C-alpha cells in the first residue's frame, strides 16, 4: 500500500486494523492468553501467567523499531517479540519469564494473531455487506419499473428495467454473505500446535480448548479456511466491480443514464465542465484488476513443504492482508457509489428510442408468426428493418406503410410491453432476500 492512496483504494477504518501496532497487539494478546490457558490447565502457576498477561496488554512496551530490524534474523516477527516480552517479564519476575511462549512456535502466534485481526475484519465486513444489500434492496424496489434498454455485447438488445439490473447486483452480494457466513467456522480457528504441529506436554488438547475459548476461536484443526476466505473476497471484488463496470459505462457522455453522485467537486473538472468522471468506479475497477492475482498468490502458496514452509507461508502474510484491505476499500467505495447514485429516467427513455424501433423487431416477428408463419414473418420483418435503416425512418412507420395487419401496432413499440418477466424476477429476488433478512 502506498499511503498516498490510503483513502481511495482502501478504507481508513480498516487500515488501522492492520497497522503494525495492531498486529503486535494481537500477537501479545495470544501470548498473554496462552499463559493464562496453560496456567488454568496446571502447566505452571497462575501467578506467573498473570504477570505475563499483564505485560501483554501494553504494546507500547515493545520497541518496534528494534523488533523490525531483528525480523531478518529469524524470519518472522514472533521471535524478536517473544525475546522482548521475555526480557520485560524477567526484569520483574524471573520465574514467570520461564513460561513465556511455552511450547509454542512462531507459526502459532503469527497465524492466530492474523485470525484475530480477521475476526474483527469480518465483523466490519459483514456490517458493511448488510448495509450494501439494504441499499441495493431499496434501489431495486425504487426502480422496479424504471424502463431502460438491456445491452448485450455492448449493443442495445431489448428493454429491461433498471430494477432488474440492480436485483442481479443484489443477489450476487447476498450469495457472498452466505458464503462468508458458512466459511467463518473454518476461518476463525486457533493455531496452536508447537514446533511441528503435533503438540507437546505444554501444548495439549486442554490448553488448546481453553485458549480457543479465551480468544473466541475454534480449536485447532488443519484447515484451508484462510484460502477459502481469500477466494470469497476475490469473488466479492468481482461482483462489486461488475456494478462499477456497468455504472461507468452508463455514465458515458453518449449514454448518460446513471451517475455517481456529485459530492463537492467530485468527479468534475473545472476546465471540462461537461465531464462526470466515474472516479469512484475507477477505484473499484482498479482494485478488481489486482485482487484476482492476489488470490492466485494465495493459491500458489498452498503446496508448502513438510510441517512448515520456507517462503510460501511467509508470502501469505502480506498478500492476505492486502487482499482484505483492498476489499475493504472496494466495499466502502461501492456503498458511497450506490448511496449517491443518480438515475436519469428521461435519458433511459430517450435511449430506448435511438434505434427507431428496431429493438422491438423480434417481438413483432413473433406476433406475426401465428398469422403468416414464422419464416414468412421473419423475412417480412427483416425486410422492414432494412428499409427502416436505409431510409432513416422509424420501424413503425415502415410497417404502417407495409400494412402488415397487426392491430394495435403501437403497443409493440412500448418498452413496458417488451420487458419479459423482469418484474417477476425482481419481485422474486426481493422476496427471497426479505425472507433472508
Candidate residues 61, 73, 92, 402; the one interacting with a second copy per rule CB under 8 A: 73
13 scored as a contact of a second copy (CB under 8 A): no
Question: For residue 78, which of 51, 105, 100 has the smallest C-alpha distance?
Answer: 105
How far is Cα 202 from Cα 211, in angstroms, rounded to an integer? 13
Candidate residues 68, 87, 142, 185; the one interacting with a second copy per rule CB under 8 A: 68
362 scored as a contact of a second copy (CB under 8 A): yes
- Taking the least distance from each CB to a second copy, the nearer of 270 and 403 is 270
Cα of first residue to Cα of last residue in the chain, in angstroms, is: 35
- Cell representation of residue 385: 428493418
**Residues 396-435 contacting a second copy, CB under 8 A:** 419-422, 424-425, 429
Specify the stretch interacting with a second copy by CB under 8 A; choose among 28-36, 53-61, 94-102, 127-135: 94-102
- State the minimum distance, in angstroms, from the CB of residue 50 to a second copy: 18
- State the minimum distance, in angstroms, from the CB of residue 350 to a second copy: 10
371 scored as a contact of a second copy (CB under 8 A): no
358 scored as a contact of a second copy (CB under 8 A): yes
198-237 mask for a second copy (x: CB under 8 A)?
xxxxxxxx---------------xxxx--xx--xx-xx-x
- State the minimum distance, in angstroms, from the CB of residue 206 to a second copy: 11
**Residues 98-117 contacting a second copy, CB under 8 A:** 98-99, 105
How far is Cα 417 from Cα 227, in angstroms, rounded to an integer? 47
Q: Can you tell me whether residue 347 is helix, strand or coil?
A: helix
How far is Cα 186 from Cα 226, in angstroms, rounded to an integer? 8
Torsion-angle region of residue 392: left (phi > 0), alpha (psi -120 to 50) or beta? left
- Taking the least distance from each CB to a second copy, the nearer of 132 and 288 is 288
309 scored as a contact of a second copy (CB under 8 A): yes
Which single residue is written with the C-alpha cell 485482487? 291
- How distant, in Å, are the alpha carbons of 110, 355, 376 from that of 349? 57, 12, 31
- Cell representation of residue 186: 473454518
**Residues 233-292 contacting a second copy, CB under 8 A:** 234-235, 237-239, 241-242, 244-246, 248-249, 251-255, 263-267, 270-292
- State the minimum distance, in angstroms, from the CB of residue 405 to a second copy: 19
- Cell representation of residue 67: 523488533
- State the minimum distance, in angstroms, from the CB of residue 288 to a second copy: 6
181 scored as a contact of a second copy (CB under 8 A): no
How far is Cα 153 from Cα 158, in angstroms, rounded to an integer? 12
349 scored as a contact of a second copy (CB under 8 A): no
How far is Cα 384 from Cα 391, in angstroms, rounded to an integer? 10
372 scored as a contact of a second copy (CB under 8 A): no
300 is catalytic: no
- How distant, in Å, are the alpha carbons of 12, 317, 323 from that of 329? 8, 19, 10
- State the minimum distance, in angstroms, from the CB of residue 244 to a second copy: 7
**From the CB of residue 408, how many other CB atoms can be counted at a distance below 10 Å?**
9
Q: Can you tell me whether residue 160 is helix, strand or coil?
A: strand
437 scored as a contact of a second copy (CB under 8 A): no
- Strands 155-161 and 258-259, how do they pair? unpaired
26 scored as a contact of a second copy (CB under 8 A): no
15 scored as a contact of a second copy (CB under 8 A): no
42 scored as a contact of a second copy (CB under 8 A): no
- Cell representation of residue 48: 506467573
29 scored as a contact of a second copy (CB under 8 A): no
Candidate residues 61, 92, 123, 157; the one interacting with a second copy per rule CB under 8 A: 157
How far is Cα 330 from Cα 239, in angstroms, rounded to an integer? 11
Give the H/E segment covering residue 26: helix 20-40
Which single residue is written with the C-alpha cell 446513471? 258
- State the minimum distance, in angstroms, from the CB of residue 12 to a second copy: 9
Specify the stretch interacting with a second copy by CB under 8 A; choose among 51-59, 136-144, 357-365, 396-404: 357-365
How far is Cα 419 from Cα 358, in angstroms, rounded to an integer? 15
308 is catalytic: yes
293 scored as a contact of a second copy (CB under 8 A): yes
- Taking the least distance from each CB to a second copy, the nearer of 150 and 411 is 150
Contact residues for 154 (Cβ-Cβ < 8 A; gap 6+) = 249
- State the minimum distance, in angstroms, from the CB of residue 1 to a second copy: 6
364 scored as a contact of a second copy (CB under 8 A): no
- How distant, in Å, are the alpha carbons of 218, 393, 413 from that of 423? 44, 31, 19
Specify the stretch interacting with a second copy by CB under 8 A; choose among 54-62, 145-153, 210-218, 407-415: 145-153
Of 308, 309, 315, 369, which is the active-site residue? 308
User: What residues act catalytically?
Assistant: 269, 308
Amino acid at each position: 500500500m502506498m499511503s498516498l492512496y490510503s483513502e481511495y483504494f482502501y478504507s481508513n477504518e480498516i487500515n488501522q486494523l492492520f497497522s503494525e501496532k495492531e498486529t503486535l497487539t494481537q500477537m501479545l494478546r495470544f501470548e498473554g492468553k496462552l499463559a493464562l490457558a496453560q496456567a488454568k490447565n496446571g502447566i505452571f502457576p497462575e501467578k506467573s501467567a498473570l504477570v505475563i498477561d499483564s505485560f501483554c496488554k501494553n504494546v507500547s512496551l515493545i520497541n518496534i523499531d528494534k523488533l523490525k530490524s531483528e525480523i531478518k534474523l529469524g524470519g518472522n516477527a514472533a521471535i524478536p517479540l517473544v525475546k522482548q516480552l521475555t526480557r520485560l517479564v524477567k526484569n520483574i519476575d524471573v520465574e514467570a519469564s520461564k513460561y513465556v511462549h511455552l511450547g509454542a512456535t512462531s507459526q502459532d502466534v503469527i497465524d492466530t494473531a492474523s485470525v484475530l485481526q480477521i475476526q474483527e475484519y469480518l465483523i466490519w465486513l459483514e456490517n458493511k455487506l448488510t448495509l450494501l444489500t439494504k441499499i441495493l434492496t431499496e434501489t431495486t424496489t425504487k426502480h422496479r419499473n424504471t424502463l431502460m434498454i438491456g445491452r448485450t455485447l455492448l449493443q442495445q438488445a431489448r428493454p429491461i428495467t433498471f430494477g432488474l439490473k440492480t436485483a442481479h447486483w443484489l443477489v450476487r452480494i447476498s450469495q457472498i454473505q452466505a458464503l462468508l457466513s458458512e466459511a467463518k467456522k473454518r476461518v476463525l480457528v486457533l493455531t496452536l500446535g508447537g514446533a511441528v504441529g503435533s503438540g507437546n506436554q505444554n501444548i495439549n488438547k486442554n490448553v488448546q480448548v481453553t485458549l480457543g475459548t479465551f480468544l473466541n476461536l475454534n480449536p485447532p484443526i488443519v484447515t484451508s479456511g484462510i484460502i477459502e476466505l481469500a477466494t470469497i473476497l476475490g469473488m466479492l471484488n468481482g461482483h462489486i466491480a461488475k456494478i462499477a463496470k456497468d455504472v461507468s459505462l452508463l455514465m458515458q457522455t453518449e449514454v448518460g443514464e446513471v451517475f455517481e453522485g456529485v459530492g463537492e467537486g467530485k468527479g468534475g473538472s473545472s476546465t471540462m465542465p461537461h465531464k462526470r468522471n466515474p472516479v469512484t468506479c475507477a477505484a473499484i475497477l482498479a482494485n478488481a484488476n489486482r485482487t484476482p492475482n492476489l488470490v492466485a498468490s494465495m493459491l500458489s502458496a498452498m503446496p508448502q513443504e513438510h510441517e512448515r514452509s520456507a517462503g510460501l507461508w511467509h508470502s501469505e502474510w502480506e498478500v492476505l492482508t492486502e487482499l482484505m484491505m483492498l476489499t475493504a476499500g472496494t466495499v466502502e467505495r461501492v456503498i458511497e457509489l450506490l448511496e449517491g447514485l443518480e438515475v436519469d429516467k428521461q435519458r433511459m427513455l430517450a435511449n430506448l428510442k435511438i434505434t427507431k424501433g428496431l429493438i422491438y423487431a423480434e417481438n413483432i416477428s413473433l406476433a406475426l408468426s401465428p398469422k403468416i408463419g414464422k419464416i414468412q414473418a421473419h423475412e417480412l420483418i427483416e425486410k422492414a428493418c432494412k428499409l427502416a435503416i436505409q431510409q432513416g425512418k422509424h420501424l413503425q412507420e415502415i410497417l404502417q406503410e407495409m400494412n402488415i395487419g397487426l392491430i394495435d401496432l403501437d403497443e409493440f413499440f412500448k418498452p413496458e410491453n417488451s420487458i419479459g418477466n423482469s418484474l417477476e424476477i425482481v419481485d422474486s429476488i426481493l422476496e427471497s432476500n426479505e425472507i433472508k433478512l
